Chain A
């Protein structure tokens, strides 16, 4: 043994493998003797005796922090664990922040959460801009983020910078193009007054830039810049809305629009430069990125994202569309419970984030605990954590919904809609946890089928129910039913396909 350990570092590692808590060189000397190092061996390496060698090995352990590097970090204390749990929970809540932010915007600027029958058209412009901006930008970031992460892990930061340029440029131009198409489309419809189109397009561009700005911050889990970006954008959008509402001449709105749009563009650029500054290019070689390969890998992720957002807005589109004097006129009676029900997702999102991290560390951590012939035990332990995650998501979701029901239920006239949408949101959290797992395994194709089915079901069932009962608010039932079906089918897929062969999926993911 001693013959193999021929330098201080390997002796230090070998020592720590026997006892990671060596306190002084005498401890080391004992272990070195156990390892077969003799006085002769020590002399051969240029040390007076074994104690002289032990001192050098102990110095190596102390000075080079081999302890942390080679035997892993110290065991965590209870306080460390609590802090980590809270951190994961909070970042999970932050994951749900688009919905929270939307809710806060509604509450602060009184758009559509509370009945405002005097300005339904203005509210429509904001709400429609919100939904269409989310859907029209949802597919852009996954195309770029997939490759950005790849190069980030490879530490090819010059490539990361190129992707950032491509992303921010494409985002901007796609937004302009979509805005132009939407203006043309609304003009062809001829249903809305001219000032409404200005309102709509101002909010559409501002919100699109907001989603495009925050998407990479989300992906890179940069929560503080993310929250700052949200707050600044919210302030600008809110201020624009308040001012636009307060002026009597609707023809002057475009002035506020230009000011608001410029401020949003400034945030957009700031975030770009901020991200750019985080990735200092390396000195070796210039990476060329090939768009077709990037698209090939990114498009499946894009489709999933797009389907997801279409799915969650389907019920609203049905309610806004059916039986309205204007196409897609906001229905305040539906909006109040719909917006409040969004609160339901906060706690399950926190729980989901906590367990997702546990699941990922179990997937890669348990591999080290089991020998390869014990692969079944490994799969079983991953399955246990996964089931725990799902149970915790549902349980926390239902408990929090009950609490919410008692807290804000009296503000909602239509409790059925509130209940159906809340239950739908709880299952939506489970759906997201599964989508994230499919993405983690680099299998974006897998959730496509259940998502297509779920979205079609949401739409078809919604129309059938509305036609059957003659009440458009039953769209919330179709959302709930399709969420439940989609969540269950994804859970079955994960259990039957992924976890049964988790070793294979984990191997082939990277």
Chain B
């Protein structure tokens, strides 16, 4: 299982999906390869017994590749270090780096050439010192040739190219690890974490699956620094596009969690016959209506989201200013970890300026979301971008009316059993919330129908069985191929 910034070190939708899938596919053994931003992170999930190993690949936070792994001996590091010199880097690494950069800056013209370059760099970096390689003069010369001297990218700021090169050097750490043997690799995103899957596919013909929650490419565009020039943005966009396309090209199956993703995948070059939508499932025994005694009779608006710009909390606060004018007793509880401290501060300033201190509360992360949902009169999901949000179907399973923004696969999940509002509009969001608040019967009926709908469409059983089927399909296909080849030989 290939993860990026998620399982088992961070909580969130993708991590929940991974945990549910692994825990329920008990007849499969898993090895988790988790790409993270830092080493020595605390695990946020208890690993199920069928997880046989975990390799954390931090792209930042270590000065030497594998420094954080106790089993990696210093003498091995010295061996790698001594075997790396400018001549070797120039002869064995630079040609593949050149091909990689050429493909990356053009957004991947030829996925095969890009994948070949990735594999060659992987071979080199597993035997040589990563730090010495990316800090070499040869490495910088190729950056100069491919980017400084490029007719287009030559206009990017020097600082940007330097930052880009540093990011690239960190990403290349991912290729410096030996990946364990597997019968099948499954990536939770068409992202950098998929590169080991591509390498295993090319080297050992290991079937490769991708599940797309949010469309990685789309989310990265949303994340791009707003101060960059068009040319600078283009460089990063093309790098992401290249990585996504090479992932799609080598995947045996692309499994988006909602139909919304399919259009993007098709647009980015994924072949139609590889795509199959598998919706997420949830534990309807855990997420069910529960009678909870709340401390007062105020109408609770519950939001389950991490504090991040993409989650549209600012918009929600604006909406609450409107809501509280008509429903002064309404209170909004936001559950979730803080992933952007500056954004949290901005939210708090906004709450203060709108005098909403006792009406919008940050409750922090919770291990019992089912209780939080059941405290709610209405559950709101104000995101600016989503894949297929668990929070929406979990709230629906708890029999709560949902007001959500029309992003990603949200409307597909709600499918008429909740209120959909346009994103980034606090006025529309407030209107949606008030629509539910003003009519208790309407709210209760909506909640009841939502639960029935979830029981029909988003159960664990269906979700797990779909993955079991796909696993068997690709594995048997591989076995057949091997039998045919064996017969031929």
| A residues whose Cβ falls under 8 Å from a Cβ of B | 6-10, 13-14, 17, 44-47, 56, 63-64, 69-70, 150, 154, 156, 284-288, 290, 292-293, 296-297, 364, 366-375, 378, 501, 503-504, 506-508, 510
Q: B140-155: which residues lie under 8 A (CB-CB) from chain A?
A: 140, 143-144, 147-149, 153-155
Contact B156 A371 (CB under 8 A): yes
Q: B61-79: which residues lie under 8 A (CB-CB) from chain A?
A: 61, 63-64, 67-68, 70, 74, 77
Q: How far is the CA of A284 from the CA of B425 in the complex (A)?
A: 35
**Closest residue to A286 on the B side, CB-wise?**
B40
Contact B158 A374 (CB under 8 A): yes
Contact A13 B158 (CB under 8 A): no
Contact mask B300-330 → A, CB, 8 Å, 1/0? Answer: 0000000001001011001000000000000
Contact B158 A7 (CB under 8 A): no
Which among B159-167, B187-195, B260-268 touches the partner chain? B159-167
Which among B92-100, B287-295, B346-354, B477-485 touches the partner chain? B346-354
Q: Which residues does chain B contribute within 8 Å of A367, judged by CB atoms?
A: 157-159, 162
Q: Which residues does chain A contribute within 8 Å of B137, judged by CB atoms?
A: 501, 504
Contact A290 B148 (CB under 8 A): no
Q: How far is the CA of A374 from the CA of B161 in the complex (A)?
A: 12
Q: Which residues does chain A contribute within 8 Å of B162, judged by CB atoms?
A: 367, 503, 506-507
In this assembly, does B226 line the interface, its C-beta being within 8 Å of a C-beta of chain A?
yes
Contact A370 B158 (CB under 8 A): yes
Q: How far is the CA of A154 from the CA of B157 in the complex (A)?
A: 25
Q: How far is the CA of A370 from the CA of B134 in the complex (A)?
A: 23
Contact A293 B159 (CB under 8 A): no
**Closest residue to B159 on the A side, CB-wise?**
A367
How close is A241's CB to chain B, nearest CB, in angstroms? Answer: 44
In this assembly, does B368 line the interface, its C-beta being within 8 Å of a C-beta of chain A?
no
Contact B161 A372 (CB under 8 A): yes
How close is A27's CB to chain B, nearest CB, in angstroms? Answer: 20
**Closest residue to A14 on the B side, CB-wise?**
B226
Contact B68 A7 (CB under 8 A): no
Contact B63 A293 (CB under 8 A): yes
Q: Which residues does chain B contribute within 8 Å of A288, judged by CB atoms?
A: 40, 68, 70
Q: Is the interface of B mostly helix, strand, loop or mixed?
A: helix
In this assembly, does B456 line the interface, its C-beta being within 8 Å of a C-beta of chain A?
no
Q: How large is the interface on B (under 10, 10 to 19, 20 to 34, 35 or more residues)?
A: 35 or more
10 contacting pairs across A/B (C-beta < 8 A): A7-B384, A45-B424, A63-B346, A287-B39, A290-B74, A367-B157, A367-B159, A373-B148, A374-B158, A503-B162
Contact A154 B148 (CB under 8 A): no
Q: Which residues does chain A contribute within 8 Å of B369, judged by CB atoms?
A: none
Q: Which residues does chain B contribute within 8 Å of A501, judged by CB atoms?
A: 137, 140
Contact B42 A285 (CB under 8 A): yes
Contact A370 B157 (CB under 8 A): yes
Q: Take A285-B41, A285-B42, A503-B158 as given contacts and tell me if A375 and B67 are in contact as well, using a CB distance cutoff of 8 Å.
A: no
Q: Which residues does chain A contribute within 8 Å of B68, judged by CB atoms?
A: 288
Per CB-CB distance, the 5 closest pairs between chain A and chain B, nearest first, are A46-B425, A367-B159, A46-B427, A373-B154, A292-B74
Q: Which residues does chain B contribute within 8 Å of A372, judged by CB atoms?
A: 147-148, 153-158, 160-161
Contact A63 B61 (CB under 8 A): no
In this assembly, does B60 line the interface, its C-beta being within 8 Å of a C-beta of chain A?
yes
**Closest residue to B314 on the A side, CB-wise?**
A8
Q: Which residues does chain A contribute within 8 Å of B160, judged by CB atoms?
A: 372
Q: Which residues does chain B contribute within 8 Å of A285, judged by CB atoms?
A: 38-42
Q: Can you add 10 more A-B contacts, CB < 8 Å, to A6-B423, A369-B157, A370-B158? A: A47-B427, A70-B227, A154-B38, A156-B61, A288-B68, A371-B154, A372-B156, A373-B154, A507-B140, A508-B135
**Closest residue to B353 on the A side, CB-wise?**
A63
Q: Which residues does chain A contribute within 8 Å of B342, judged by CB atoms?
A: 69
Contact A46 B227 (CB under 8 A): no
